[in-house]
Structure 1
Amino acid sequence: MSTTPADPNGLVDLTGRIIIVSGAAGGGIGTSVVALIARAGATVIAVSRSKDNLKTHIDPLVGEGLSVVPVAADAATDDGIATVMEVARNTDGTLYGLVNVAGGAAPATWMPATRVTRSDWRELFTQNLETMFFMSQAVAAELKSRDLPGSIVSISSISGMNTAPFHIGYGTAKAALVAATRTMAVELATDNIRVNTIAPGVTATPASQMYVDADPERDRRAIAMGRRGRPEEQAGAILFLLSDLSSYITGQTLLVDGGLNLKWTHMGSDHTSLFLKDEGFRAAMTQ
Protein backbone atom coordinates (compact mmCIF):
# COMPACT_ATOMS: atom_id res chain seq x y z
CA MET A 1 0.00 0.00 0.00
CA SER A 2 1.05 3.59 -0.63
CA THR A 3 2.40 5.62 2.27
CA THR A 4 0.90 8.81 0.83
CA PRO A 5 -2.63 10.10 1.51
CA ALA A 6 -5.21 8.30 -0.60
CA ASP A 7 -6.93 11.47 -1.81
CA PRO A 8 -5.00 14.30 -3.52
CA ASN A 9 -7.64 16.83 -2.41
CA GLY A 10 -6.96 16.00 1.23
CA LEU A 11 -10.42 14.70 2.10
CA VAL A 12 -8.93 11.53 3.57
CA ASP A 13 -5.64 13.12 4.57
CA LEU A 14 -5.35 12.72 8.35
CA THR A 15 -1.94 14.41 8.64
CA GLY A 16 -1.45 16.13 12.00
CA ARG A 17 -4.36 14.29 13.60
CA ILE A 18 -4.01 11.87 16.49
CA ILE A 19 -6.36 8.90 16.37
CA ILE A 20 -6.66 6.34 19.14
CA VAL A 21 -7.44 2.74 18.16
CA SER A 22 -8.66 0.60 21.06
CA GLY A 23 -8.23 -3.11 20.35
CA ALA A 24 -5.47 -2.46 17.84
CA ALA A 25 -3.28 -5.53 17.99
CA GLY A 26 -5.35 -8.63 17.31
CA GLY A 27 -4.06 -9.02 13.78
CA GLY A 28 -7.53 -8.45 12.31
CA ILE A 29 -9.72 -5.38 11.89
CA GLY A 30 -7.96 -3.30 14.55
CA THR A 31 -4.51 -3.88 13.09
CA SER A 32 -5.78 -3.13 9.58
CA VAL A 33 -7.30 0.12 10.85
CA VAL A 34 -4.01 1.16 12.44
CA ALA A 35 -2.11 0.51 9.20
CA LEU A 36 -4.62 2.24 6.93
CA ILE A 37 -5.13 5.42 8.93
CA ALA A 38 -1.41 5.75 9.64
CA ARG A 39 -0.80 5.54 5.88
CA ALA A 40 -3.40 8.31 5.50
CA GLY A 41 -1.14 10.51 7.63
CA ALA A 42 -2.51 10.09 11.15
CA THR A 43 -0.47 9.50 14.26
CA VAL A 44 -2.08 6.39 15.70
CA ILE A 45 -2.11 5.45 19.36
CA ALA A 46 -2.46 1.68 19.11
CA VAL A 47 -3.96 0.27 22.30
CA SER A 48 -3.99 -3.36 23.36
CA ARG A 49 -4.04 -5.28 26.63
CA SER A 50 -1.42 -7.65 25.24
CA LYS A 51 2.21 -6.58 25.01
CA ASP A 52 2.89 -9.71 22.97
CA ASN A 53 0.23 -8.77 20.41
CA LEU A 54 1.62 -5.25 20.18
CA LYS A 55 5.06 -6.69 19.51
CA THR A 56 3.73 -9.12 16.89
CA HIS A 57 1.30 -6.91 14.99
CA ILE A 58 2.11 -3.26 15.75
CA ASP A 59 5.89 -3.15 16.01
CA PRO A 60 6.26 -4.09 12.30
CA LEU A 61 4.17 -1.04 11.38
CA VAL A 62 6.45 1.14 13.49
CA GLY A 63 9.36 -0.51 11.70
CA GLU A 64 7.90 0.61 8.37
CA GLY A 65 8.25 4.19 9.53
CA LEU A 66 4.54 4.75 10.17
CA SER A 67 3.60 7.14 12.97
CA VAL A 68 2.24 4.57 15.43
CA VAL A 69 2.57 4.68 19.21
CA PRO A 70 1.98 1.27 20.85
CA VAL A 71 0.30 1.45 24.27
CA ALA A 72 -0.25 -1.54 26.55
CA ALA A 73 -3.44 -0.70 28.47
CA ASP A 74 -6.81 -2.25 29.24
CA ALA A 75 -9.55 0.01 27.86
CA ALA A 76 -12.08 -1.86 30.01
CA THR A 77 -10.65 -0.17 33.13
CA ASP A 78 -10.49 3.44 34.32
CA ASP A 79 -6.74 3.13 34.85
CA GLY A 80 -6.28 1.83 31.32
CA ILE A 81 -8.28 4.68 29.81
CA ALA A 82 -6.32 7.21 31.91
CA THR A 83 -3.06 5.75 30.57
CA VAL A 84 -4.27 6.08 26.98
CA MET A 85 -5.40 9.67 27.44
CA GLU A 86 -2.11 10.65 29.07
CA VAL A 87 -0.22 9.27 26.09
CA ALA A 88 -2.53 11.18 23.74
CA ARG A 89 -1.86 14.44 25.57
CA ASN A 90 1.89 13.94 25.28
CA THR A 91 1.95 12.94 21.61
CA ASP A 92 2.77 15.45 18.89
CA GLY A 93 -0.30 16.37 16.87
CA THR A 94 -3.92 17.26 17.55
CA LEU A 95 -6.32 14.76 19.06
CA TYR A 96 -9.09 14.10 16.59
CA GLY A 97 -10.42 10.56 16.53
CA LEU A 98 -11.14 7.28 18.24
CA VAL A 99 -11.83 3.85 16.81
CA ASN A 100 -13.37 1.36 19.23
CA VAL A 101 -12.44 -2.11 18.01
CA ALA A 102 -12.01 -3.80 21.39
CA GLY A 103 -14.71 -6.38 21.99
CA GLY A 104 -15.72 -9.75 20.65
CA ALA A 105 -16.84 -13.01 22.20
CA ALA A 106 -15.17 -16.32 22.93
CA PRO A 107 -16.61 -19.50 21.36
CA ALA A 108 -17.79 -20.58 24.81
CA THR A 109 -20.28 -17.67 24.86
CA TRP A 110 -22.38 -19.29 22.12
CA MET A 111 -25.29 -20.99 23.90
CA PRO A 112 -29.09 -21.01 24.18
CA ALA A 113 -30.62 -17.99 25.91
CA THR A 114 -31.88 -20.32 28.63
CA ARG A 115 -28.30 -21.14 29.66
CA VAL A 116 -26.79 -17.64 29.79
CA THR A 117 -25.60 -16.73 33.29
CA ARG A 118 -25.35 -13.27 34.82
CA SER A 119 -21.58 -13.63 34.64
CA ASP A 120 -21.73 -14.44 30.91
CA TRP A 121 -24.02 -11.48 30.29
CA ARG A 122 -21.95 -8.99 32.26
CA GLU A 123 -18.69 -10.09 30.66
CA LEU A 124 -20.06 -9.63 27.14
CA PHE A 125 -21.46 -6.21 28.01
CA THR A 126 -18.15 -5.16 29.58
CA GLN A 127 -16.19 -6.24 26.51
CA ASN A 128 -18.53 -4.87 23.87
CA LEU A 129 -20.43 -1.94 25.37
CA GLU A 130 -18.73 -0.55 28.45
CA THR A 131 -15.31 -0.44 26.81
CA MET A 132 -16.73 1.47 23.85
CA PHE A 133 -18.74 3.88 25.97
CA PHE A 134 -16.17 4.87 28.56
CA MET A 135 -13.36 5.15 26.03
CA SER A 136 -15.64 7.34 23.88
CA GLN A 137 -16.61 9.38 26.93
CA ALA A 138 -12.96 10.11 27.75
CA VAL A 139 -12.06 11.14 24.20
CA ALA A 140 -15.19 13.26 23.80
CA ALA A 141 -14.55 15.03 27.09
CA GLU A 142 -10.97 15.79 26.04
CA LEU A 143 -12.08 17.13 22.68
CA LYS A 144 -14.79 19.30 24.28
CA SER A 145 -12.40 20.70 26.88
CA ARG A 146 -10.05 21.85 24.10
CA ASP A 147 -12.84 22.95 21.73
CA LEU A 148 -11.66 20.48 19.09
CA PRO A 149 -13.70 18.76 16.39
CA GLY A 150 -13.53 14.99 16.17
CA SER A 151 -14.82 11.69 14.90
CA ILE A 152 -15.54 8.57 16.94
CA VAL A 153 -16.16 5.27 15.15
CA SER A 154 -17.12 2.05 16.90
CA ILE A 155 -17.66 -1.51 15.75
CA SER A 156 -21.01 -3.16 16.24
CA SER A 157 -21.89 -6.34 14.33
CA ILE A 158 -24.47 -7.76 11.99
CA SER A 159 -25.53 -9.64 15.15
CA GLY A 160 -26.56 -6.31 16.65
CA MET A 161 -28.68 -5.36 13.64
CA ASN A 162 -30.88 -8.44 13.54
CA THR A 163 -31.42 -11.53 15.64
CA ALA A 164 -28.47 -13.40 17.14
CA PRO A 165 -29.70 -16.94 17.85
CA PHE A 166 -27.59 -18.71 20.47
CA HIS A 167 -25.53 -15.53 20.96
CA ILE A 168 -28.03 -13.30 22.69
CA GLY A 169 -25.58 -11.56 25.05
CA TYR A 170 -23.22 -10.54 22.26
CA GLY A 171 -26.00 -9.48 19.90
CA THR A 172 -27.75 -7.44 22.57
CA ALA A 173 -24.52 -5.71 23.62
CA LYS A 174 -23.78 -4.80 20.00
CA ALA A 175 -27.33 -3.49 19.55
CA ALA A 176 -26.90 -1.38 22.68
CA LEU A 177 -23.67 -0.01 21.20
CA VAL A 178 -25.68 1.26 18.23
CA ALA A 179 -28.15 2.96 20.60
CA ALA A 180 -25.30 4.57 22.55
CA THR A 181 -23.80 5.82 19.29
CA ARG A 182 -27.03 7.53 18.28
CA THR A 183 -27.49 9.26 21.63
CA MET A 184 -23.87 10.41 21.87
CA ALA A 185 -24.10 11.71 18.29
CA VAL A 186 -26.98 14.00 19.28
CA GLU A 187 -25.30 15.24 22.44
CA LEU A 188 -21.99 15.97 20.71
CA ALA A 189 -23.24 17.30 17.38
CA THR A 190 -23.03 20.98 18.30
CA ASP A 191 -19.46 20.39 19.52
CA ASN A 192 -18.58 19.25 15.98
CA ILE A 193 -17.84 15.73 17.21
CA ARG A 194 -19.31 13.03 15.01
CA VAL A 195 -20.14 9.55 16.34
CA ASN A 196 -20.78 6.62 14.02
CA THR A 197 -20.61 2.84 13.91
CA ILE A 198 -19.93 0.12 11.40
CA ALA A 199 -21.58 -3.29 11.58
CA PRO A 200 -19.36 -5.93 9.98
CA GLY A 201 -20.70 -9.14 8.58
CA VAL A 202 -18.62 -12.32 8.65
CA THR A 203 -15.02 -11.17 8.29
CA ALA A 204 -11.93 -13.34 7.94
CA THR A 205 -9.98 -12.46 11.09
CA PRO A 206 -7.87 -14.52 13.51
CA ALA A 207 -10.68 -14.25 16.08
CA SER A 208 -13.38 -15.50 13.70
CA GLN A 209 -11.27 -18.50 12.73
CA MET A 210 -11.88 -19.91 16.19
CA TYR A 211 -15.48 -20.76 15.24
CA VAL A 212 -15.98 -20.10 11.50
CA ASP A 213 -14.40 -22.62 9.16
CA ALA A 214 -13.52 -22.11 5.50
CA ASP A 215 -16.51 -23.09 3.36
CA PRO A 216 -16.73 -21.13 0.09
CA GLU A 217 -19.98 -22.80 -0.97
CA ARG A 218 -21.68 -21.83 2.28
CA ASP A 219 -20.38 -18.28 1.87
CA ARG A 220 -21.84 -18.11 -1.64
CA ARG A 221 -25.21 -19.25 -0.31
CA ALA A 222 -25.29 -16.94 2.70
CA ILE A 223 -23.68 -13.71 1.47
CA ALA A 224 -24.92 -11.70 -1.51
CA MET A 225 -21.36 -10.96 -2.65
CA GLY A 226 -20.50 -14.62 -2.21
CA ARG A 227 -17.53 -14.29 0.13
CA ARG A 228 -16.47 -13.24 3.59
CA GLY A 229 -15.08 -9.76 4.12
CA ARG A 230 -11.44 -8.88 4.63
CA PRO A 231 -10.23 -6.81 7.61
CA GLU A 232 -8.94 -4.09 5.31
CA GLU A 233 -12.45 -3.69 3.85
CA GLN A 234 -13.78 -2.90 7.31
CA ALA A 235 -10.84 -0.53 7.81
CA GLY A 236 -11.74 1.30 4.61
CA ALA A 237 -15.24 2.05 5.90
CA ILE A 238 -13.76 3.27 9.17
CA LEU A 239 -11.32 5.55 7.35
CA PHE A 240 -14.26 7.03 5.45
CA LEU A 241 -16.11 7.79 8.70
CA LEU A 242 -13.00 9.33 10.25
CA SER A 243 -12.27 11.47 7.21
CA ASP A 244 -13.72 14.73 5.96
CA LEU A 245 -15.53 12.79 3.22
CA SER A 246 -18.14 11.99 5.89
CA SER A 247 -18.25 15.45 7.45
CA TYR A 248 -22.07 15.57 7.41
CA ILE A 249 -22.66 12.05 8.74
CA THR A 250 -23.31 11.33 12.41
CA GLY A 251 -25.33 8.86 14.46
CA GLN A 252 -25.29 6.27 11.67
CA THR A 253 -24.48 2.59 11.48
CA LEU A 254 -22.93 1.46 8.22
CA LEU A 255 -23.38 -2.23 7.43
CA VAL A 256 -20.20 -3.59 5.89
CA ASP A 257 -21.34 -7.14 5.29
CA GLY A 258 -21.19 -7.92 1.58
CA GLY A 259 -24.99 -8.02 1.55
CA LEU A 260 -25.30 -10.70 4.23
CA ASN A 261 -28.29 -8.85 5.68
CA LEU A 262 -30.03 -8.86 2.29
CA LYS A 263 -30.25 -12.62 1.84
CA TRP A 264 -33.19 -14.58 3.16
CA THR A 265 -32.50 -18.05 4.47
CA HIS A 266 -34.62 -19.58 1.71
CA MET A 267 -32.40 -18.14 -1.02
CA GLY A 268 -29.95 -20.23 -2.99
CA SER A 269 -26.46 -19.31 -4.15
CA ASP A 270 -27.98 -17.64 -7.25
CA HIS A 271 -30.12 -15.47 -4.92
CA THR A 272 -33.39 -17.06 -6.10
CA SER A 273 -35.95 -18.71 -3.84
CA LEU A 274 -35.29 -22.36 -3.10
CA PHE A 275 -39.06 -22.87 -3.28
CA LEU A 276 -39.07 -22.30 -7.05
CA LYS A 277 -39.19 -25.74 -8.68
CA ASP A 278 -39.58 -24.64 -12.31
CA GLU A 279 -36.01 -24.36 -13.59
CA GLY A 280 -37.20 -22.69 -16.79
CA PHE A 281 -38.91 -19.96 -14.83
CA ARG A 282 -35.84 -19.59 -12.59
CA ALA A 283 -33.55 -19.28 -15.62
CA ALA A 284 -35.82 -16.77 -17.35
CA MET A 285 -36.10 -14.46 -14.38
CA THR A 286 -32.35 -14.35 -13.72
CA GLN A 287 -31.38 -13.43 -17.28
Structure 2
Amino acid sequence: MTASDDGTVALVGCGRMARALVRGLIAAGHAPERLTGVSRTGRGARALAGEYGIRPAATLAEAVRDATTVVLAVHPDETADALAELAASATPRHLLLSLVASWRTEAIAARLPGVLVVRAVPNVAIAERDGVTVLADTSDGAALDSVRGLFAGLGQVLVLDEDLLEAVSALSGAGPALVARFAEALASAGRAQGVPAGTADLLAARAVRGTGALLAGGATPAAVIDSVASPGGMTEAALRRLDEGGLPESVRQGVDAAVRLSFGRLATA
Protein backbone atom coordinates (compact mmCIF):
# COMPACT_ATOMS: atom_id res chain seq x y z
CA MET A 1 0.00 0.00 0.00
CA THR A 2 1.36 3.40 -0.93
CA ALA A 3 0.94 6.61 1.01
CA SER A 4 -1.44 7.88 -1.62
CA ASP A 5 -3.68 4.82 -1.12
CA ASP A 6 -4.35 5.23 2.61
CA GLY A 7 -4.93 8.97 2.88
CA THR A 8 -5.12 12.17 0.98
CA VAL A 9 -2.15 13.84 -0.63
CA ALA A 10 -1.65 17.42 0.52
CA LEU A 11 0.09 19.84 -1.82
CA VAL A 12 1.82 22.70 -0.06
CA GLY A 13 2.31 25.12 -2.93
CA CYS A 14 0.15 25.02 -6.05
CA GLY A 15 2.41 26.34 -8.79
CA ARG A 16 3.67 24.83 -12.04
CA MET A 17 5.01 21.53 -10.78
CA ALA A 18 2.08 20.95 -8.44
CA ARG A 19 -0.26 21.55 -11.37
CA ALA A 20 1.64 19.01 -13.48
CA LEU A 21 1.49 16.48 -10.64
CA VAL A 22 -2.24 16.98 -10.11
CA ARG A 23 -3.00 16.63 -13.80
CA GLY A 24 -0.92 13.48 -14.08
CA LEU A 25 -2.32 11.86 -10.94
CA ILE A 26 -5.91 12.47 -11.96
CA ALA A 27 -5.23 11.17 -15.47
CA ALA A 28 -3.74 8.07 -13.83
CA GLY A 29 -6.95 7.50 -11.87
CA HIS A 30 -6.25 9.27 -8.59
CA ALA A 31 -9.51 10.62 -7.15
CA PRO A 32 -9.38 14.45 -7.08
CA GLU A 33 -11.17 14.58 -3.74
CA ARG A 34 -8.17 12.80 -2.23
CA LEU A 35 -5.94 15.69 -3.23
CA THR A 36 -5.82 18.80 -1.07
CA GLY A 37 -4.00 21.98 -1.99
CA VAL A 38 -2.90 25.03 -0.05
CA SER A 39 -1.02 28.05 -1.37
CA ARG A 40 0.39 31.21 0.12
CA THR A 41 -2.32 33.54 -1.22
CA GLY A 42 -4.94 30.87 -1.85
CA ARG A 43 -5.21 31.69 -5.55
CA GLY A 44 -3.20 28.69 -6.72
CA ALA A 45 -5.19 26.23 -4.62
CA ARG A 46 -8.49 27.69 -5.78
CA ALA A 47 -7.34 27.54 -9.40
CA LEU A 48 -6.48 23.85 -9.11
CA ALA A 49 -9.77 23.20 -7.35
CA GLY A 50 -11.69 24.91 -10.14
CA GLU A 51 -9.81 23.15 -12.92
CA TYR A 52 -9.33 19.66 -11.50
CA GLY A 53 -11.73 19.33 -8.57
CA ILE A 54 -9.18 18.98 -5.79
CA ARG A 55 -10.04 20.28 -2.34
CA PRO A 56 -8.64 23.73 -1.52
CA ALA A 57 -7.58 24.34 2.07
CA ALA A 58 -7.58 27.69 3.82
CA THR A 59 -4.57 26.87 6.00
CA LEU A 60 -1.58 24.56 5.90
CA ALA A 61 -2.76 22.82 9.07
CA GLU A 62 -6.09 22.07 7.43
CA ALA A 63 -4.40 20.75 4.31
CA VAL A 64 -2.17 18.24 6.10
CA ARG A 65 -4.59 17.20 8.85
CA ASP A 66 -5.97 14.14 7.02
CA ALA A 67 -3.05 13.60 4.67
CA THR A 68 -0.51 10.82 4.72
CA THR A 69 1.73 12.27 2.03
CA VAL A 70 2.61 15.96 2.10
CA VAL A 71 4.09 17.31 -1.13
CA LEU A 72 6.24 20.39 -0.58
CA ALA A 73 6.23 22.31 -3.87
CA VAL A 74 7.12 25.89 -2.98
CA HIS A 75 9.86 28.19 -4.26
CA PRO A 76 13.24 27.61 -2.58
CA ASP A 77 13.10 31.09 -1.05
CA GLU A 78 9.74 30.27 0.58
CA THR A 79 10.81 26.89 1.91
CA ALA A 80 12.12 27.93 5.33
CA ASP A 81 8.85 29.68 6.19
CA ALA A 82 6.78 26.76 4.90
CA LEU A 83 8.81 24.29 6.97
CA ALA A 84 8.45 26.43 10.08
CA GLU A 85 4.69 26.31 9.61
CA LEU A 86 4.73 22.60 8.78
CA ALA A 87 6.65 21.84 11.97
CA ALA A 88 3.50 22.62 13.95
CA SER A 89 1.36 20.19 11.93
CA ALA A 90 3.55 17.42 10.53
CA THR A 91 3.81 14.23 12.57
CA PRO A 92 5.67 10.92 12.22
CA ARG A 93 2.64 9.51 10.39
CA HIS A 94 3.33 11.91 7.53
CA LEU A 95 5.67 11.33 4.61
CA LEU A 96 7.11 14.61 3.34
CA LEU A 97 7.83 14.55 -0.38
CA SER A 98 9.97 17.53 -1.32
CA LEU A 99 10.00 18.85 -4.87
CA VAL A 100 11.97 21.92 -3.80
CA ALA A 101 15.18 22.69 -5.65
CA SER A 102 18.37 23.39 -3.70
CA TRP A 103 17.12 21.91 -0.42
CA ARG A 104 18.80 18.65 0.54
CA THR A 105 16.90 15.92 2.34
CA GLU A 106 18.77 16.38 5.61
CA ALA A 107 18.12 20.14 5.60
CA ILE A 108 14.38 19.52 5.47
CA ALA A 109 14.43 16.57 7.89
CA ALA A 110 16.30 18.68 10.45
CA ARG A 111 13.35 21.06 10.54
CA LEU A 112 10.75 18.28 10.82
CA PRO A 113 12.02 15.86 13.48
CA GLY A 114 10.49 12.39 13.21
CA VAL A 115 9.02 12.97 9.74
CA LEU A 116 10.25 10.80 6.88
CA VAL A 117 11.49 12.94 3.98
CA VAL A 118 12.04 11.95 0.35
CA ARG A 119 13.41 14.41 -2.18
CA ALA A 120 12.26 14.11 -5.79
CA VAL A 121 13.05 15.85 -9.06
CA PRO A 122 10.21 15.30 -11.55
CA ASN A 123 9.77 17.13 -14.82
CA VAL A 124 6.59 18.71 -16.14
CA ALA A 125 5.99 15.86 -18.58
CA ILE A 126 4.45 13.98 -15.64
CA ALA A 127 1.36 16.00 -16.55
CA GLU A 128 1.07 13.81 -19.65
CA ARG A 129 2.15 10.67 -17.74
CA ASP A 130 5.32 10.62 -19.84
CA GLY A 131 7.81 12.23 -17.49
CA VAL A 132 10.75 11.06 -15.47
CA THR A 133 11.13 11.48 -11.73
CA VAL A 134 14.45 11.04 -9.95
CA LEU A 135 14.39 10.26 -6.23
CA ALA A 136 17.25 10.88 -3.85
CA ASP A 137 18.50 7.58 -2.47
CA THR A 138 17.64 7.32 1.21
CA SER A 139 18.08 4.67 3.85
CA ASP A 140 14.31 4.24 4.25
CA GLY A 141 13.20 1.78 1.62
CA ALA A 142 9.53 1.93 2.59
CA ALA A 143 9.44 5.68 2.05
CA LEU A 144 11.07 5.32 -1.37
CA ASP A 145 8.61 2.58 -2.31
CA SER A 146 5.70 4.80 -1.29
CA VAL A 147 6.91 7.66 -3.47
CA ARG A 148 7.62 5.27 -6.33
CA GLY A 149 4.01 4.21 -6.07
CA LEU A 150 2.81 7.80 -6.27
CA PHE A 151 4.80 8.48 -9.45
CA ALA A 152 4.53 5.02 -11.00
CA GLY A 153 1.72 5.99 -13.38
CA LEU A 154 3.37 9.26 -14.43
CA GLY A 155 6.38 7.93 -16.35
CA GLN A 156 9.74 6.50 -15.35
CA VAL A 157 11.08 6.63 -11.79
CA LEU A 158 14.81 6.48 -11.02
CA VAL A 159 16.78 6.56 -7.77
CA LEU A 160 20.16 8.30 -7.65
CA ASP A 161 22.62 9.57 -5.07
CA GLU A 162 21.46 12.94 -3.80
CA ASP A 163 24.78 14.54 -4.72
CA LEU A 164 23.66 14.24 -8.35
CA LEU A 165 20.27 15.90 -7.94
CA GLU A 166 21.39 19.45 -8.70
CA ALA A 167 22.69 18.20 -12.05
CA VAL A 168 19.50 16.17 -12.53
CA SER A 169 17.45 19.30 -11.89
CA ALA A 170 19.33 21.13 -14.64
CA LEU A 171 19.31 18.25 -17.10
CA SER A 172 15.91 16.67 -16.56
CA GLY A 173 13.90 19.19 -14.56
CA ALA A 174 14.86 22.07 -16.85
CA GLY A 175 15.17 19.77 -19.87
CA PRO A 176 11.63 20.28 -21.22
CA ALA A 177 12.16 24.05 -21.27
CA LEU A 178 15.51 23.68 -23.04
CA VAL A 179 14.02 21.36 -25.65
CA ALA A 180 11.00 23.64 -26.04
CA ARG A 181 13.34 26.59 -26.63
CA PHE A 182 14.98 24.61 -29.47
CA ALA A 183 11.54 23.74 -30.90
CA GLU A 184 10.63 27.43 -30.73
CA ALA A 185 13.82 28.34 -32.60
CA LEU A 186 13.22 25.59 -35.17
CA ALA A 187 9.68 26.80 -35.84
CA SER A 188 10.92 30.39 -36.09
CA ALA A 189 13.51 29.32 -38.67
CA GLY A 190 10.75 27.64 -40.64
CA ARG A 191 8.61 30.76 -40.60
CA ALA A 192 11.59 32.76 -41.84
CA GLN A 193 11.66 30.45 -44.86
CA GLY A 194 8.01 31.21 -45.61
CA VAL A 195 6.32 28.26 -43.93
CA PRO A 196 2.97 29.36 -42.41
CA ALA A 197 3.22 29.94 -38.67
CA GLY A 198 0.81 27.21 -37.59
CA THR A 199 2.42 24.68 -39.89
CA ALA A 200 5.94 25.60 -38.77
CA ASP A 201 4.90 25.18 -35.13
CA LEU A 202 3.31 21.80 -35.88
CA LEU A 203 6.32 20.53 -37.84
CA ALA A 204 8.72 21.56 -35.06
CA ALA A 205 6.54 19.98 -32.37
CA ARG A 206 6.21 16.74 -34.31
CA ALA A 207 9.96 16.66 -34.94
CA VAL A 208 10.59 16.89 -31.20
CA ARG A 209 7.89 14.35 -30.37
CA GLY A 210 9.00 11.89 -33.04
CA THR A 211 12.64 12.16 -32.05
CA GLY A 212 11.70 11.59 -28.42
CA ALA A 213 9.83 8.45 -29.41
CA LEU A 214 12.85 7.15 -31.32
CA LEU A 215 15.18 7.82 -28.40
CA ALA A 216 12.74 6.32 -25.89
CA GLY A 217 12.54 3.27 -28.12
CA GLY A 218 16.25 2.64 -27.69
CA ALA A 219 17.87 4.57 -30.53
CA THR A 220 20.92 6.61 -29.58
CA PRO A 221 21.18 10.27 -30.60
CA ALA A 222 24.01 9.31 -32.96
CA ALA A 223 21.84 6.64 -34.57
CA VAL A 224 18.97 9.09 -35.10
CA ILE A 225 21.36 11.61 -36.67
CA ASP A 226 22.86 8.93 -38.90
CA SER A 227 19.40 7.83 -40.04
CA VAL A 228 18.64 11.34 -41.31
CA ALA A 229 21.94 12.96 -42.31
CA SER A 230 23.25 11.67 -45.63
CA PRO A 231 26.77 12.75 -46.69
CA GLY A 232 26.72 16.13 -48.40
CA GLY A 233 22.99 16.53 -47.80
CA MET A 234 20.75 19.23 -46.32
CA THR A 235 20.76 17.76 -42.82
CA GLU A 236 24.52 17.53 -42.71
CA ALA A 237 24.77 21.17 -43.78
CA ALA A 238 22.35 22.22 -41.05
CA LEU A 239 24.16 20.21 -38.38
CA ARG A 240 27.52 21.60 -39.39
CA ARG A 241 26.21 25.14 -39.02
CA LEU A 242 24.73 24.40 -35.59
CA ASP A 243 28.07 23.03 -34.44
CA GLU A 244 29.91 26.03 -35.87
CA GLY A 245 27.45 28.29 -34.07
CA GLY A 246 28.36 26.65 -30.78
CA LEU A 247 25.14 24.75 -29.99
CA PRO A 248 26.80 21.92 -27.99
CA GLU A 249 28.87 24.39 -25.97
CA SER A 250 25.88 26.67 -25.41
CA VAL A 251 23.86 23.77 -24.04
CA ARG A 252 26.73 22.73 -21.78
CA GLN A 253 27.04 26.27 -20.49
CA GLY A 254 23.31 26.50 -19.92
CA VAL A 255 23.20 23.33 -17.84
CA ASP A 256 26.32 24.45 -15.97
CA ALA A 257 24.72 27.81 -15.17
CA ALA A 258 21.65 26.08 -13.74
CA VAL A 259 23.75 23.72 -11.62
CA ARG A 260 25.89 26.56 -10.29
CA LEU A 261 22.78 28.56 -9.35
CA SER A 262 21.32 25.58 -7.51
CA PHE A 263 24.54 24.86 -5.62
CA GLY A 264 24.88 28.56 -4.86
CA ARG A 265 21.65 28.62 -2.91
CA LEU A 266 21.86 25.04 -1.58
CA ALA A 267 20.33 24.70 1.86
CA THR A 268 21.99 22.32 4.30
CA ALA A 269 21.03 21.10 7.72
Same fold (TM over 0.5): no
Answer 1 or 2: which has greater helix percent: 2
Q: Which of these two proteins has the greater Rg computed from alpha carbons?
A: 2
TM (norm. structure 2) is 0.44
TM, length-normalised to structure 1: 0.41
